[in-house]
Amino acid sequence: MPYDHRKTVRRALALALAATGCCATLAGCGAPQASPQEGGKQPSPPSASAGRPTRPPAASTGAPSAEAGGTGGSTGSVDASGANPGSRSLAGRTVVIDPGHNPGNFRHSKEINQKVDIGTNRKECDTTGTSTNAGYTEASFTLDVSHRLRDLLTARGAKVVLTHDAERPWGPCIDERARIGNAAAADAVVSVHADGSAVGNRGFHVILPARVRGGSADTADIVGPSRELGEGIADHFARTTGTEPSNYLGSGTGLDVRDDLGGLNLSTVPKVFVECGNMRDPKDAQLLTSATWRQKAARGIADGIATYLEG
């Protein structure tokens, strides 16, 4: 039979079209797409995206999560936390999450500038926090990551308490934040932040309490366990997000010890601050404004907390 070139071409085209149509019908048949990045001073309200996983019941109530950024938003998936399906390894444990600053602080400078007792001296009640050059605020970032972290820990069985959920016009002050963790008899407290340093200063760091004693402050009992908590978070944060420890603090360890933070000085339970990156550096800002990266950050913190609590 003579060779029919046209028939061969038609068959090749049909096979190519069939393969394309098959891929188009399968969610995730290609590489996952990065979620849109955020900008502006306030994130847009979350939309009811089709297919978004349902959150598990949260241990705290308040304003809804700021999830502008689409895919990669806050999820209740246990698999996303890295735990085995059905795992309740943190049942009976209490974790307090402290979202740094408050979106309303910008409108209440008089209140947040009032000084409070931090044991060793007096310091401003709170600050507004920093922002990216495009105007994405630290307060919006910390609340979003805190919601994601809450969901991951709740999925593992932990009781989670937020120091605030933007349900109040400003604050709470740094001394009240410490008291919330103490009153909850928390097994661990994590204060979520992002830094505002010079361009070129990149990476995350975890702030640990120094040994402080003065007035109502005495950190002797929490210095050791807080370091253990912080080391676990630094390790998992680096592995999960793929980011490096700070190149400007901590000598490459990702750990920084401070004695001037009221939230640490006044704590009677293990507590650390996590500075997830530098909002003023364009490369770090690109990460911090990605909803997908923020989910990784929350998972890294959650894994670090779990490692500490599971011993």
Predicted local distance difference test score (pLDDT) of residue 84 = 52
Mean pLDDT of the chain: 80
Residue 210, domain CATH: 3.40.630.40
Q: Tally the residues of the chain.
A: 311
* 266 domain residue, yes or no: yes
pLDDT at 260 over 70: yes
Domain range for 110: 91-310
Q: Minimal CA–CA distance to 234: which of 211, 220, 218, 250? A: 250
Catalytic residue positions? 275
**More confident site: 249 or 46:** 249
Contact (Cβ atoms closer than 8 angstroms) between residue 50 and residue 271: no
* 17 domain residue, yes or no: no
Residue 92's pLDDT band (boundaries 50, 70, 90)? Answer: very high
Average pLDDT over residues 64-71: 33
In angstroms, the CA 177 to CA 18 distance is: 59
* 215 domain residue, yes or no: yes
Predicted local distance difference test score (pLDDT) of residue 113 = 98
pLDDT at 26 over 70: no
Long-range CB pairs of 144-147, under 8 A, 24+ apart, other chains included:
144/43, 144/65, 144/66, 144/67, 144/74, 144/291, 144/294, 145/99, 145/192, 145/276, 145/294, 145/297, 145/298, 145/301, 146/97, 146/98, 146/99, 146/192, 147/65, 147/66, 147/67, 147/74
In angstroms, the CA 138 to CA 41 distance is: 10
Residue 163's pLDDT band (boundaries 50, 70, 90)? Answer: very high
Contact (Cβ atoms closer than 8 angstroms) between residue 144 and residue 66: yes
Average pLDDT over residues 131-155: 98
State the DSSP string of the chain.
----HHHHHHHHHHHHHHHHHHHHTSTTSSPPPPPPBP-SSSPPPPP--TTPPPPPPPSS-SSPP--TTSTT-----HHHHTSPTT--TTTT-EEEEEESS-GGGGG-HHHHTSEEE-SSSEEES-----B-TT--BHHHHHHHHHHHHHHHHHHTT-EEEES--S-SSS---HHHHHHHHHHTT-SEEEEEEEE---TT--SBEEEEE---EETTEE-TTTHHHHHHHHHHHHHHHHHHH-PPBPSSSGGGSSEEEES--HHHHT-SS-EEEEEEEETTSHHHHHHHTBHHHHHHHHHHHHHHHHHHHH-
* 35 domain residue, yes or no: no
**pTM, whole model, 2 decimals?**
0.75
Average pLDDT over residues 24-45: 30
Average pLDDT over residues 24-50: 30
* 45 domain residue, yes or no: no
pLDDT at 23 over 90: no
| pLDDT tens-digit readout, 189-207 | 999 999 999 999 999 999 9
pLDDT at 66 over 80: no
* 196 domain residue, yes or no: yes
| pLDDT tens-digit readout, 209-221 | 999 999 999 999 9
In angstroms, the CA 153 to CA 178 distance is: 20
**More confident site: 180 or 3:** 180
Residue 87's pLDDT band (boundaries 50, 70, 90)? Answer: confident
Give the count of domains, the chain: 1
pLDDT at 31 over 60: no
How remote is the C-alpha of 171 from its chain's centroid? Answer: 19
